[in-house]
Structure 1
Amino acid sequence: MYGTMKLQEEKVFKDPVHRYVHVKDKVIWDLIGTKEFQRLRRIRQLGTTYVTFHGAEHSRFNHSLGVYEIVRRIVDNVFKNRQEWDNSQRLLSLCAALLHDLGHGPFSHSFEKVFHLDHEHFTQEIILGKTEVNDVLTKVGKDFPQKVADVIAKTSEHKLVINLISSQIDADRMDYLLRDSYFTGVSYGQFDMERILRVMRPQEDQIVIKYTGMHAIEDYIMSRYQMYWQVYFHPVTRSADVILRKILHRAKALYDKQYKFQSDPHHFYSLFQEKVTLEDYLKLDESIILYYFQMWQEEDDQILRDLCTRFVNRNLFKYVEFDPSKEYKVLAKLESLFLEAGLDPEYYLVVDSSSDLPYDFYRPGEEGERLPIHLLMADGELRELSRESTIVDAISGKRRTDHKLYFPGELLAVDGKHKNLEQQIRVLLGKK
């Protein structure tokens, strides 16, 4: 039976985070070889973060293998032979872990925001569509692709499998914290994963943590908190992200006006028309996007040309702290000043906001359910983490939000027409 077939010899991938990624199952090996999975080599894990941390060139392919390896260790070593774990769900867990990010597009979340896409939707489309991935999964069983897709969609009846890949302490988060920390060269994302794996326990439809591992979980949550604010929400990265989004917005606006591109964006047609087919989507990767950005530096449209040149050559926007709730009147004044200076504020004066909730638990009546992390006490009782940890309690349910105003600082100082504009921005906002 294909689903239980093993390779004659175990395959290994040398990995800088987990040392080795082990593959013994033929299904997993065949999935890795599909063109849809290989496409992930051409999509960076951290989008525009490489402009800030030059080592952040790792891909969704790296990360997907890492998530698979963590889940493999859990189901083969930690959960194996525990009566609460149904070992028949092993292959489902491994496949879902490997394929969980299959639908990511180029520059991932920035791309999704502009074109109103959802990578999880496309992950399910790839798994269920006419793809090499679907061919492999169907060989396990006709209903197996749907089972994997249901885990990705979080609608599967196998809640424990879902929580292995998507929860407040899952294989996805554990891998990206360690991997992103390694490749960006920072220490914020480091935590004792081996300890966490040792104290994980399956219980009914959730993963609980043995109470003796509480301090390792505290370290993990604080690592996640620090990585978001020191790396993922870094203001320089966000500047590159702003320019990226504005390039895509400008290209679509020009297309809608029937502008004649010198480099025809045929890869973007279905995106601009909001009729994205799976076939079109799978043709997109970051090399394709960067090709157009390179070519659009020679376009007649001054805004598109300038934004692409900025992105390609890392000539990013400056920024100041900005509070939309208090300074919205100032923003209107600044927009008028930009228009007077001949700069379109739609593209050159941008408010960007970042927000994160490091840990929370479900509160009846509130929007959005976040399953808590439970500690398994010595007497068998389950206790929600923040009830036992003063560190976690201090940040539990506390959302932190940061707003910045981005603008092309050096452009404003080029000539007499613009040179006082940056100073006016800072004066109006009360910044030095």
Structure 2
Amino acid sequence: MEKPIMLPREKVLRDPVHNYIHVTHQVILDLINTSEFQRLRRIKQLGASSYTFHGAEHSRFTHCVGVYEITRQICNNFQRNYPSKTPEDHLWHDDEERLVALCAALLHDIGHGPYSHTFEHIFGTDHEAITRQILTSPETEVNQVLRGVSPDFPEKVASVIGKTYADPQVVQMISSQIDADRMDYLLRDAYNTGTKYGMFDLTRILRVMRPYRHGIAFEASGMHAVEDYIVCRFQMYQQVYFHPVSRSMEVILDHLLHRAKYLYEHGQLNHEQTPTLLVPFLEDDFTLQDYLRLDDGVLTTYFTLWRDHPDDILRDLTSRFLDRRPLKSVRFTPETRDLLPHLQELIEAAGFNPQYYTAVNDSYDLPYDAYDPSSKEPKTQIELMEQDGTLEELSTVSPIVAAITGKSTGDERFFFPREMIHPEELQLFEPLYQEFQTYLRNDCLVDPRA
């Protein structure tokens, strides 16, 4: 690989989280200006969460340039303080690795589709696989830019995304339990949702990061900053990412797209309301170019057209999504799960098709998991390095982290129409609603017969 071309003068992008995004390499600026990367401006970072936190309108674009900026700072720290002098010291080989790391950081989410994970669930796409395809396909602008560095450079960057790149330091910058990706989205999502518990000391964490033989470790003196990051991550998942209203809007979006798929397959979407750009996905026969034509705005346009569709279910679900009328939900446990079929019967008796107006949704997160080589997908643990070079796994020295290590947090919820607890909106048979409501108490599903 030839020496990378530098810009004649550093370019900066103003950013609410990092103040400035510093661009010094020509290839980074060229990648930002590709059509595939600009498409990320039209995909929200938090999908349907903006229906809960109205400030959460930020895009995948802003997140990706933020991950790039954090990675750039990590590279600077490593080059300044831990430059490799011999191949055996396992420190930072800047000239060989910096550009690979920066490009992987910038492009790590370029394969996300509209409404991200909900779209993936319905149409069976994989944003990481599509990211690698965008990087390696000769038909993309991104690939042409990367090939300008060297013929094998697109595959190198793609291998970082796929976690197969030879240097674990580069991989762990982008993908580990404390990486540039997670650090940016926690800070950015906290800022845009107006929450404060996602704010941790990024400057201190970057200061105590260091390369070593097996990847990246953290100086033991920085343990409390790392602890704070773990706790912030825990709080953001419980209070923001798993918020019941956000999950409810995702359920409506899921059912809405499933109904559209059903109607298309049965020839019930007329010509004016046929979602032309979605047809390849409805038929499970799409190309990369089909995928890159989609963004949040494309789907929203089709939803707007479906407000007037003759199908009652599609029309109603579309209005519920566009007008923010979320389903209600209640937590349930293994002991009360067997009550759900009866609740669905009551909902059906009230005139709602349970297939489209009820759902079971679970959200669980593992805030921190120590390395377990016997697990199916062992995670990269967080190592603290003492001054003598010895390593200690974080949860063995931090009581706070030990308390949540290996413990999943979250809940299972049953979603149903809000009319079941506000029957005045339908003015229907009152005893049915009274019976339904006897099962609900303090956000929990209970058995009134117990």
Question: Structures share a fold, TM > 0.5?
Answer: yes
Residue 288 (str. 1) matches residue 298 (str. 2): yes
Structure 1 position 98, deviation (Å): 0.3
Decide whether the 8 Å contact of 1:322 with 1:405 is kept in 2: yes
Structure 2: how far apart are the matches of 1:268 and 1:2? Answer: 42
Q: TM-score, normalized by length of structure 2? A: 0.93
The CA RMSD measured in Å over matched residues stands at 1.6
Decide whether the 8 Å contact of 1:409 with 1:422 is kept in 2: no
Structure 2: how far apart are the matches of 1:99 and 1:113? Answer: 22
Counterpart of 2:393, as a letter, is E
Deviations 1:247-292, CA, capped at 9 Å, x for gaps: 1111111112221334111111111122221010000000001001
Structure 2: how far apart are the matches of 1:2 and 1:49? Answer: 44
Structure 1 position 421, deviation (Å): 4.3
Structure 2 stretches of 5 or more lacking a match? 85-90, 440-444
Counterpart of 1:337, as a letter, is L
Decide whether the 8 Å contact of 2:111 with 2:130 is kept in 1: yes
Report how many residues are paired: 431
SS in 2 for 1:364: coil
**2:150 alignment counterpart:** 141
**2:435 alignment counterpart:** 424
Structure 2: how far apart are the matches of 1:418 and 1:319? Answer: 21
Structure 1: how far apart are the matches of 2:412 and 2:390? Answer: 42
Task: Identify which of 319, 322, 331 aligns with 2:332.
Answer: 322
SS in 1 for 2:22: strand
Decide whether the 8 Å contact of 2:261 with 2:282 is kept in 1: yes
Structure 1 position 367, deviation (Å): 2.4
SS in 2 for 1:298: coil
**2:22 alignment counterpart:** 22
Structure 2: how far apart are the matches of 1:339 and 1:165? Answer: 47
SS in 2 for 1:347: helix
Instruction: Name the CA shift for 1:421/1:159 in 2 (closer, same or farther; >3 Å).
Output: farther
**2:88 alignment counterpart:** none
**2:116 alignment counterpart:** 108
Decide whether the 8 Å contact of 1:48 with 1:240 is kept in 2: yes
Structure 1: how far apart are the matches of 2:77 and 2:371? Answer: 30
Counterpart of 1:61, as a letter, is F
Task: Identify which of 216, 219, 234 aligns with 1:225.
Answer: 234
SS in 2 for 1:343: coil
Structure 2: how far apart are the matches of 1:137 and 1:422? Answer: 61
Counterpart of 1:123, as a letter, is T
Structure 1 stretches of 5 or more lacking a match? none
Counterpart of 1:85, as a letter, is W
Residue 400 (str. 1) matches residue 400 (str. 2): no
Structure 2: how far apart are the matches of 1:8 and 1:326? Answer: 66
Decide whether the 8 Å contact of 1:2 with 1:139 is kept in 2: no
**1:150 alignment counterpart:** 159
**1:53 alignment counterpart:** 53
Counterpart of 1:122, as a letter, is I
**1:85 alignment counterpart:** 92
Structure 1: how far apart are the matches of 2:197 and 2:234? Answer: 9
Percentage of identical aligned residues: 50
Within 5 Å, which residues of 2 pair with 1:62-211?
Answer: 62-80=62-80, 81-83=82-84, 84-87=91-94, 88-129=96-137, 130-211=139-220
Q: TM-score, normalized by length of structure 1? A: 0.96
